[in-house]
Amino acid sequence: MPFDLSAAQTHLSQDGKLADLIATTAQFVLDESVANSPYEALLEAIAYQSISGKAAATIYGRVRALSGADRAPSPVEMLKLRKTALRKAGLSGAKVLAMKDLAKKTIEGVVPTREQAEKMSDEELVERLVSVRGIGAWTVEMFLIFNLGRPDVLPIHDLGVKKGWSVAYGKKHMPTPKQLLAFGERWRPYRTVASWYMWRAFERAGYKLTNKIRPPSKKRRKLKSHKPKSRAPYTAKPRS
């Protein structure tokens, strides 16, 4: 773990709602086998955009096969691949252009190596990587969380995080991105871990409940962003 998970959980458990989630849902974990370069991670992310996971996995497998080895095509290989071959693999025209631009910007040095990325700030990485065609802030945030293990990333546009917040805090409406950003100040410097538990709250509630959560209120009420009062360390009850 790139950061102290115990310290993160202790800090977040000052919030009673989060304390309950931490004690009763799956523990935050990163897939340590995932150590892809930004190029590889974003190449796969492009393949997965806007389609089901199963379909995306099939298509990305075909793209990998175009390298002639059990790996993603290198940036040089990607630029040499014919657009017709990539379209035949199942990619849309927009995704082909995005992958080509990703390869070009990787060769130019705009997209950093993994070693370089690990030394860069979150803000620097977002600025660099969103310059790639078809790559938005959300995609970069997922890379920061699940590939680099950055501790303080809050994906304010993520539907699961917003609905999970509504479930966890008993709200009928989702927060606006601006409201969630303000509320999330209490979670610093472990907003990644807090986001993880918002996803768990969303999953645990199920679609029957979360589909009833309404869009952000038009009244634009401010969410309280002050830190909650300190409380005694939360002691998890043994599960039956």
Opening angle at CA 145, ends 138 and 70, nearest 5: 90
Pairwise CA distance, residues 196 & 192, whole Å = 6
Cβ pair 23, 32 in contact under 8 A: no
158 catalytic per annotation? yes
Q: Please, what is the end-to-end C-alpha distance for the chain in angstroms?
A: 29
If we measure between CA atoms, which residue out of 5, 19, 21, 9 comes closest to residue 204? Answer: 21
Phi-psi region of 29 (alpha: psi -120 to 50; beta: other; left: phi over 0): beta
Pairwise CA distance, residues 99 & 103, whole Å = 6
Q: Which of 15, 101, 152, 158 is catalytic?
A: 158
For the CA atoms of 166, 169, 175, 179, the dihedral, rounded to the nearest 10 degrees, stands at -160
Pairwise CA distance, residues 161 & 180, whole Å = 9
Cβ pair 143, 42 in contact under 8 A: yes
Q: Active-site residues: which are they? A: 158
